[in-house]
Amino acid sequence: MFEYLAYDIQEGIATITLNRPDRYNAFNDGMSYELQDALKQATRDNEVRVVVLTGAGKAFCSGQDLKASGGDPDRSFSDSLHKRYNPIIRAIRNMPKPVIARLNGVAAGAGCSLALACDVLIAAEQVQMIEVFVNVGLVLDSGSSYFLPKLVGYHKAFELATRASRITAAEAHELGIINKVVPAEALDAAVAEFAGHYAKAPTKAIGLIKKMLNKGERSSLDDILEYEAYCQEIAGRSEDYREGVNAFLEKRKPEFRGK
């Protein structure tokens, strides 16, 4: 189905693997468009309850493949972002399902932005993250200038962006960027635990929570109170809510269907 990705669905979990390991999963045009398609497919598929995004081989994603793009001196950076990268970031943030970044190796440049756009980040201990743009005379893109200061504050974000400082998974965890850091051999189990939880969770409610948290970053308290009421009405009419209440009354574990 894909040339530069692997796409697999098991028990409600869609795993999308960037699959250019010889280039440390750097983006060429083909991979960026395929990732857009894969995210659309996961969004539309009602059987998918959670998405895991990862990389093949030693890296998560090393950003833009400069060898692939360097041969076109007339290449428009703006067009590339609008057509290739920005739709990916929007697809992740707008997807009404949780997206887990399984960080198996370096996340650099647009690869770092890709990780920051996800809802949960789980990393192996050896992982490093780097906003590498300034090293080639470029600025942050693919959402990094939006996500990074919200996560670490302006001053740390300025340092990371202007010095291209490498940070380890442990440092990223301390800064609040990464949710969980584990030894490399425990990465799959840690991701499976998170993904398994969300695959059996009330997906509609989690999708609404995701929208509320995104909206909360740029709205007033009054706006959020109104939006919470609106979303709660939707959640309260879901099958999962009825199942949750029945399970509580019957003193059993709920079996959510994501509807």
Q: Is residue 127 part of a domain?
A: yes
Looking at the structure, tell me whether residues 180 and 55 fall in a common domain.
yes
Q: Is residue 186 part of a domain?
A: yes
Under a CB-based contact definition with an 8 Å cutoff, are residues 211 and 231 in contact?
yes
* CATH number, domain with residue 231: 1.10.12.10
Place of tokens 């280039």: 23
pLDDT at 70 over 70: no
Looking at the structure, tell me whether residues 144 and 43 fall in a common domain.
yes
Give the pLDDT band of residue 71 (cuts 50, 70, 90): low
Looking at the structure, tell me whether residues 52 and 73 fall in a common domain.
yes
Looking at the structure, tell me whether residues 237 and 143 fall in a common domain.
no
Instruction: Give the total number of structural domains in the chain.
Output: 2
Q: State the Cα torsion 124-206-86-127 to the nearest 10°.
A: -10
Which domain covers residue 227, as residue numbers? 203-249
> pLDDT tens, 198-255?
999 999 999 999 999 998 878 888 999 998 899 999 999 999 999 999 999 999 999 9
Looking at the structure, tell me whether residues 51 and 169 fall in a common domain.
yes
Looking at the structure, tell me whether residues 64 and 167 fall in a common domain.
yes
